[in-house]
Amino acid sequence: MDWPTLFDFTDYAELLTLVRSSIVAAAILGIVGGLVGVFVMQRDMAFAVHGISELSFAGAAGALLIGANVVAGSLVGSLIAAAIIGLLGAKARDRNSIIGVLMPFGLGLGILFLALYPGRSGNKFGLLTGQIISVDFEQLGLLIGISVVVLLVLVVLWRPLTFDSLDPEVAAARGVPTRTLSFVFMLVLGLTVAVSVQVIGALLVLALLVTPAAAALRVSSSPVLVPVLSMVFGLVSAVGGILLAIGGSLPISPYITTISFAIYLVCRLIDARRGARTRRRDRSRNRLAA
């Protein structure tokens, strides 16, 4: 292996200015993904994220084939998937079977579109594994715009969505419009996935939408600290991944997924050590009591 292809930081400053808007897009997605992830975890929807991303991939591949805007195609695919899952999958079991049915269909459709597409193969692969650097300026603006919308909607829905995620029955009894809320959350998730597909690729969306939140939940259960940590983890993964990747010739996604995974591992370790300490303390307390 030729290490300089992995890390080569000559001309780094120039490269940095070239990819500045990509970094901004990734930073915002990292934050939004981390935030959405907290609800994805609470609502047990990691599988739905993966399902939506495959249909988002199909949409993007379709757009590539007909020469339309790829981000728009990705959005259409995402939103259709999110709406189907949201309308038909109110119960967890129904939801999982619908996602299980949609996912291979979406992936298959996407592969078909790519096979028909006569253009460069780099574009094809990018949809599955990420291509933020090759996204043009106009589309970057679209990605950033969508992320900001998601962020705003989430902040406004925060309290009722938390209530509904914890206990839908009681939330409904207390005046939370639970059905509408679930559906809106699915659409928000669809938007986030569509953006993530562009940055990190359909296959790796979970690294930004689930891993940061899962890591944060390992080290805290505070309603303030968990989302903040999750957003920081998402931001560090996304931006750190790009910063490392532009110093070499490897794609960005493996850097993002590796950083994200490393953060998760560290959080698990912290959790495990804390758990051991608590158990020790409980044991000694029991000894005293005995």
Tell whether the torsion through CA atoms of 171, 175, 179 and 185 is positive or negative: negative
Question: What is residue 11's DSSP assignment?
Answer: T
In the bound state with another protein, the residue whose beta carbon lies nearer, of 38 and 79, is: 38
Q: List residues near another protein by CB under 8 A.
A: 38, 41-42, 155-160, 162-163, 166-167, 169-177, 216-218, 220-223, 226-227
> CA–CA separation, 167 vs 35, rounded Å?
20
Per the listing, tokens 């953006």 go with 195
* Contact assessment for residue 143 and residue 22, using Cβ atoms and an 8 Å cutoff: no
Amino acid code (one letter) for 127? L
Residue 21 corresponds to which tokens in the numbers above?
Answer: 């808007």
Our CB check for another protein shows the closer of 103 and 176 to be: 176
Closest to another protein by CB, 166 vs 272, is: 166
Q: How far is the CB of 279 from another protein (least distance, A)?
A: 13
Instruction: Tell the smallest beta-carbon distance from residue 220 to another protein (Å).
Output: 7
Q: How far is the CB of 64 from another protein (least distance, A)?
A: 38
Q: How far is the CB of 158 from another protein (least distance, A)?
A: 4
Closer to another protein by CB, 20 or 283: give it: 283
Cβ neighbors of 281 (< 8 A, separation 6 or more) are none
CB of residue 27 to another protein, shortest distance in Å: 22
Q: Which is nearer to another protein, 20 or 285 (CB)?
A: 285
Assess contact for 199 and 25: CB atoms under 8 A.
yes
